[in-house]
Structure 1
Amino acid sequence: MAGKLAGKVALVTGGSSGIGLATAKQFVEEGAFVYITGRRQAELEAAAAELGNQGKAVRTDASNLADLDTLYAQIKQEKGRLDVLFVNAGGGSFAPLGQITEEQFDQTFNTNVKGLLFTVQKALPLIPDAGAIVLNASIVSVQGVANFSVYSASKAAVRSFARTWTSDLKDRKIRVNVVSPGPIDTPGLSGLAKTEEEKRALYAQFAADVPLGRVGKPEEIAKAVVFLASDDASYITGIELFVDGGTVQV
């Protein structure tokens, strides 16, 4: 049986681990050829090996416009088009108001906002009419999480982009949607803790705030992204799909 993305060419930015890698694997399982990007070559090569013949890794810094040009030139030469784009690359760190530095602000917004914007804009010539774009945001865009204002604001910008780009691209029937994860067991989340004891306490705290009572799995986000990228969501555009165990709905 053909998969939901059979014959499609897809790109997953930040695809070497966590949600990005889980989504790339799911795309391959559904029949797509998948490019993944990231900044760490060793992790990229390991991830590409997991994808097999239906995947390829290209070292790319999402905030570097020259890197994006090189990436899309390669995709154009090798495949000629890009049917599905999942803009997943991003990150952030904690800092309370009063201790936010210019360096932290620039690092977060350069990747999560500037990088995301130009990742999409530079991809447009390769995306055929009726293509699909999925942006990765976060539930913190609608929550007031202490010490996380810079990251939260950057993800609110992502949500805003999806609304305006849906209008910008409506004549080409390109769908733009957002997936907003809750707490997910990824290297990024576990990396917030310095010890195993801190990690257990952190995860317990997150789980206590989730109606389903647990931290989510990367594969659960990946399946939501596949849905938004596939023809199953052919009449869905401009939405924010919360995959968070009910956290912001209850």
Structure 2
Amino acid sequence: MMLKDKIAVVYGAGGGIGGAVARHFAQEGAKVFLTGRRLASVQAAADDLLADAAEVDALDEEAVESHLESVVKKAGRVDISFNAIGLPNANIVGTSLTDLDATLFTQPLTGYALSYFLTARLAARRMIAQKSGVIMTVTALHSRMGLPLVGGYGPAMAAKEALTRDLSAELAPYGVRVVGLRPQGMPETRTIRDAYEPRAKASGLTWDQWQELLAARTHPRRLMTLEEMANLATFLASDKASGMTGTTVNLTMGSLDD
């Protein structure tokens, strides 16, 4: 098993991406600690995996610190920190930048970039001491591709990818890797539905047409599945990917060229 005896903390484990990653981590031998802003959604996933669940707001530094302390007391260390928090897109996408309120523009920057910074920084302090660990997150092709009506979502994804590079530059000498994944609209997640709904009325596209539009941009003319994304996440978290750090892996299936 690729993650045998590893200790992993997953933020946003109640969502589609976080839940899938947590499940695959557990299947590959990791002891998983699941967190989310709402305990009920996280608890359901934890019960299936016989894992620990906790209500943790990833934007609350004290809450993240307290939870990590409890993980270390129970398990002895933290080997993997995976940030998969999500935000409802209804208010932050679908409006042109010229009409977008400044508060709504900064909301994804705060929610995505700041939570990644806090969870990564607090995990890194423990990983530096043990001279090992992997810090991970998820972004989207909006970080590299100009798209209309995405508000501050694109800049937030770009900020997370820049932070991945900067964290790696500082932490690599201590044996800590920092890597990201950049998948493209997975139909099983709420994120793609949230991206569609604000545009539905303006575009006139049905749900099926929206998926077909996104799939047409990929090389195999289909969208990635959660299973595929989680498999890659598990590999990147494992020692088999020891040569990868300071990078965000392009999982857009050709929608975005490197």
Q: TM-score, normalised by structure 1?
A: 0.92
What is the CA–CA distance in structure 2 between the aligned matches of 1:237 and 1:144, rounded to whole Å? 26
Distance 1:130 1:41, change over 3 A: closer
Q: How does 1:34-183 map to 2 (within 5 A)?
A: 34-52=32-50, 55-91=51-87, 92=89, 93-94=92-93, 95-127=95-127, 128-183=130-185
What is the CA–CA distance in structure 1 between the aligned matches of 2:14 and 2:4, rounded to whole Å? 22
Q: Identify the residue that residue 226 of structure 2 maps to in structure 1.
A: 218
What is the CA–CA distance in structure 2 between the aligned matches of 1:137 and 1:166, rounded to whole Å? 16
- Describe the superposition over 1:69-114 as per-residue Cα deviations: whole angstroms up to 9, x where unpaired: 2221221221121001111113343131122223323421222111
Amino acid at match of 1:133: I
- Please give the secondary structure, in 2, of the residue aligned with 1:209: coil
What is the CA–CA distance in structure 2 between the aligned matches of 1:133 and 1:181, rounded to whole Å? 17
RMSD over equivalenced CA pairs, Å: 1.8
Out of 15, 23, 29, the residue aligned to residue 21 of structure 2 is 23
The question of whether the paired residues in 2 share the 8 Å contact of 1:141 and 1:152 is answered with yes
Amino acid at match of 1:187: R
Amino acid at match of 1:124: A
Query: How many aligned residue pairs are there?
Result: 245
Stretches of 4+ aligned residues off by more than 4 angstroms: none
Out of 234, 252, 255, the residue aligned to residue 247 of structure 1 is 255
What is the CA–CA distance in structure 1 between the aligned matches of 2:144 and 2:107, rounded to whole Å? 21
- Please give the secondary structure, in 1, of the residue aligned with 2:257: coil
- Please give the secondary structure, in 2, of the residue aligned with 1:247: coil
Out of 228, 234, 242, the residue aligned to residue 234 of structure 1 is 242
What is the CA–CA distance in structure 2 between the aligned matches of 1:105 and 1:76, rounded to whole Å? 36
- Describe the superposition over 1:27-64 as per-residue Cα deviations: whole angstroms up to 9, x where unpaired: 00100011111112221111112212xx2111111112
- Structure 2, unaligned stretches of length 5 or more? none
- Describe the superposition over 1:128-179 as per-residue Cα deviations: whole angstroms up to 9, x where unpaired: 3121111211111000011114111011011111111111112201111111
Q: TM-score, normalised by structure 2?
A: 0.89
Identity %: 27
- Structure 1, unaligned stretches of length 5 or more? none
